[in-house]
Structure 1
């Protein structure tokens, strides 16, 4: 079978969960004998971040021939020079006038969006017809829209949902215009099938979806019972860890900082370590300095070996606002760490069994209470870590690929 995986943005140089799962699926399908290609459309040079089998083909269809009408960027001068302020003020006024003319010519924001989308979709149509895959797997509903806008295919399309489904087509997580949400909902009509991560996510699919559905979780790395974190015995330093992009609006690292700050003076041997990159580095770093905890809280940057960082830690804290099937959390649990999250966070509240393998807090005050409880009790850390390790055993990579293979077989028979 020839399988085409499409992640139209962010695959090249991307280190997020979607890129990780796209790589996992490509490797998994290739290893069981399928011909596999990953396609993207990115105006950058780059390569995959996660290890990819050399037999998997990667194609970036981006071309200057795909015409895109761009609005002029608007810049606000943040310096102190009066001359430069005037200069940037004039440039901004000129750009605003140009943008107004562009939008008028294109029929407003909706017309501009659709025209650019139409040109990209035509490029995708030409590429897909040339490749003639047996099945297409899209890594987001946005990718579905990219290839199906004003296009029809006889090839079955299956979408992989890497979050709660409504996050993909609504404005629940941020601003999407009404016309964009309508386009995304209508894109579901083109799907032969969809994969969701938890049974409860079925309720968040739009009514426009009429294809087949399968619940398939994400894969979790597996470790032997003798490979997980050992919580017995004393150490000179203990580590609380968070692995996530530094995007506070979603990952809410500030809550972890505040919870740790509330108890840290009583436990000088404990540290809080963040692994990940993102736009909120300076924001979080400033808060750490304000709390005078820069000798206890560390923003360590990107790691290409998160599992080794997890196994060198004692507690995993993950106060995200929303998730799908959080890979870092499952890796922490598989490694034998007790885990902390928020009870109203999707995905997190599916994986953490309160008081069994970790704690689900209702707010930041409770997060600090549960954090201190784990700090104080190594036996509790050990019990919860082992319980989490046991729960993750059902999410083996082999079983996930087998579920996907069965589901794709239903789509092509």
Structure 2
């Protein structure tokens, strides 16, 4: 197959985040399987991807940089937003036309067998290029509530034109079917397996035990401060425990709020911000508990990496995806609210045997997300769609 993978809803391909990693991993796996893959994105000329493509992947950076639509289109868009009008977004349409023109200058569209879109911007481009003649598969990289339910009626109409829409959790299928008029498929993300002899040793006696939190510093989704407050509420009772949190700062005001809270409440310097890590597996190998206070997720790579490493996690029962990835009282705890989060964290910190047992269960639970299983699901879907189209 000739596969085009499109990703236009990012600030830069040099970003360190889950969607960019999946974008590169997918391209690499498909070329390993013998397919021709075009990975297409738009960035400033010469920007190097953070994650490495294999040499056989045909990398296409359109090099247009930030596309600036005419001011009149922006004015119409803002008026429509303010009045809640369901009208054409001329800014999106302008950008779509520019991107389509650039792609057609670089790739022969008739050679493509199937297109995969990483977000709504790519859906608009793929639908226009395919013109009903090439199968288009759209991906949902977050919860349905966060990515599909937030689309306008016109955007959902556009999204419903794709041949198939992929979601990350089984429960997302029915949710998506209520919002879109196309076929919905469940395919999770890949969780790279950790050998049994390489997982975190939760039985070891340590001078310092570690709670790890990995995720961008973001007030509305990742909510790092919730876990920090929970830990510091009980930290005086656990002098040999520390909380280390990692991730890019995408909300500087929120980071300042976190810093101020730590300064006034962390009496024994037990909370440490470590910045961005490019070695999450190494960090998790030294973890004893994974704290994950997100409000919602699609399929968290950080959480599943922690589970694969054999580290139990604490999350919220109200959080989509998290409440399916964490099996309550088996692979970790699902808290009802912030007070319960503190209590669950304390329970795990007190009980090493519980941590060990939950960690083993978490490690075993990740087998169903192995690369062979997940990429097999993808290739079966793509092969079927291409065969039906021909």
TM-score, with length taken from structure 2: 0.89
Report the secondary structure of 1:359's partner residue.
Answer: strand
Deviation per residue, 1:301-321 (Å, 9 max, x gap)? 111110100001110000100
Q: Partner of 1:219 in structure 2?
A: 190
Where in structure 1 are there 5+ consecutive unaligned residues?
Answer: 72-98, 172-179
Between stretches 214-223 and 35-44, larger displacement belongs to 35-44
Q: Partner of 2:170 in structure 1?
A: 199
Report the secondary structure of 1:205's partner residue.
Answer: helix
Q: Partner of 2:35 in structure 1?
A: 34
Q: 1:232 aligns with which of 203, 224, 227?
A: 203
Q: Partner of 2:247 in structure 1?
A: 276
Between stretches 301-310 and 148-157, larger displacement belongs to 148-157
> Once superposed, which parts of structure 1, at least 4 consecutive aligned residues long, lie more than 6 Å away?
110-113
- Cα 1:402–1:245 change in 2 (3 A) is same
Deviation per residue, 1:94-141 (Å, 9 max, x gap)? xxxxx9xx737x894569983322222223333454432211100113
1:211 Cα deviation from its structure 2 partner: 3.4
Q: Partner of 2:61 in structure 1?
A: 60
Provide the C-alpha distance between the structure 2 equivalents of 1:233 and 1:316, rounded to a whole number of angstroms. 17
Between stretches 54-63 and 196-205, larger displacement belongs to 54-63
1:242 Cα deviation from its structure 2 partner: 0.4
Deviation per residue, 1:331-351 (Å, 9 max, x gap)? 000001011000000110001
Aligned residues: 375
> Is residue 353 from structure 1 mapped to residue 332 from structure 2 by the alignment?
no
Q: 2:212 aligns with which of 212, 216, 241?
A: 241
Between stretches 272-281 and 262-271, larger displacement belongs to 272-281
> Is residue 318 from structure 1 mapped to residue 292 from structure 2 by the alignment?
yes
TM-score, with length taken from structure 1: 0.84
Q: Partner of 2:135 in structure 1?
A: 156
1:207 Cα deviation from its structure 2 partner: 4.8
Q: 1:412 aligns with which of 375, 386, 390?
A: 386
> Is residue 125 from structure 1 mapped to residue 74 from structure 2 by the alignment?
no
- Cα 1:151–1:270 change in 2 (3 A) is same
Q: 1:370 aligns with which of 339, 344, 350?
A: 344
> Is residue 3 from structure 1 mapped to residue 3 from structure 2 by the alignment?
yes
Provide the C-alpha distance between the structure 2 equivalents of 1:310 and 1:32, rounded to a whole number of angstroms. 30
Q: 1:401 aligns with which of 372, 375, 388?
A: 375
Where in structure 2 are there 5+ consecutive unaligned residues?
Answer: none
Q: Partner of 1:187 in structure 2?
A: 158
